[in-house]
Amino acid sequence: MPEMRAPDQIALPLDWPQGSDESRFIVSSANEAAFEHFRRWSSWPVKATILTGPRRSGRSLLARNFVARVGGRLFDPADSHDEEALFHAWNQAQETGRPVVMIADRAPPHWQVSLPDLRTRLAVTPVIAIEQPDDALFASLIRRLFADRGLHLPDDALRYTCERVTRDYWTAERVVDAIDRFAIAASARLTVPTVRRALVAGGLIEGGQEE
């Protein structure tokens, strides 16, 4: 008889092809702790978790995929949700064993909760955070965003970009949009000079960085 997989050993995808909502999560040191936390959900002290992290970091994708696989519930964003509903969902998760995930920009006490009973429960709820992207994740995000547009950014142009722009999730999207728009308008190939001019024109690097 084949060995059964423990329910917390779900095979969350490490990466995903364009268009697949279930697999667009690239694991790196910036988000590995969150990724592993959801893989081992049966060891949570309570069947609830608060997930924080920058917007556009993939936090919703990770949580959505998790709750779909284990039959849990997701509140996104939780910090602007009805507190009574969160309170009852938290209690229900403990009764049924089906976890609840609450996504918030910041965890309590920065997430200010008025309902005392909910505040007590959130105080014992694990908090896991996704960090700003490391070098490898940032480069992978830019490469994937270009691939989503059917484009390939050469390695030298990718390296030039990553070494000069602010490293965060929003900037990755702005960079790809700025370069793509500039290249189309100028009918230019995605070379280092094109990227340099696009980043300057988009206000993503100073003009003095052109040389």
CATH of the domain at 180: 1.10.8
My answer on whether 125 and 36 are in the same domain is: yes
Residue 101: pLDDT over 90: yes
CATH code of the domain in which 67 resides: 3.40.50.300
Residue 25 lies inside a defined structural domain of this protein = no
Helix/strand/coil for 146: helix
Are 140 and 69 in the same domain? no
149 and 64 in a common domain:
no
Q: Is residue 5 part of a domain?
A: no
The encoded tokens of residue 75 equal 């509140």
Tell me the backbone φ, ψ of residue 127, rounded to 5 degrees: -120, 130
Buried b (16+ CB within 10 A) or exposed e, 81-95: eebeebbebbeebee
- Which ranges of the chain does DSSP label H, i.e. alpha helix? 32-39, 59-70, 83-96, 116-123, 135-148, 155-164, 169-186, 192-201
CA distances from 144 to 152, 163, 197 (A): 9, 17, 21
Comparing CA positions, the residue from 109, 111, 50, 119 lying closest to residue 87 is: 119
Which pLDDT does position 207 carry in this prediction? 80
Same domain, 170 and 119: no
Number of domains forming the structure of the chain: 2
The band of 7, judged by pLDDT with boundaries at 50, 70 and 90, is: very low
Q: Read off the pTM.
A: 0.84
Domain, as residue range, for 180? 135-210
Q: Is 30 helix (H, G, I), strand (E, B) or coil?
A: coil
Q: Are residues 111 and 199 in the same domain?
A: no
Are 117 and 86 in a shared domain?
A: yes
The confidence score (pLDDT) of residue 24 equals 79
Q: Do 153 and 195 reside in the same domain of the chain?
A: yes
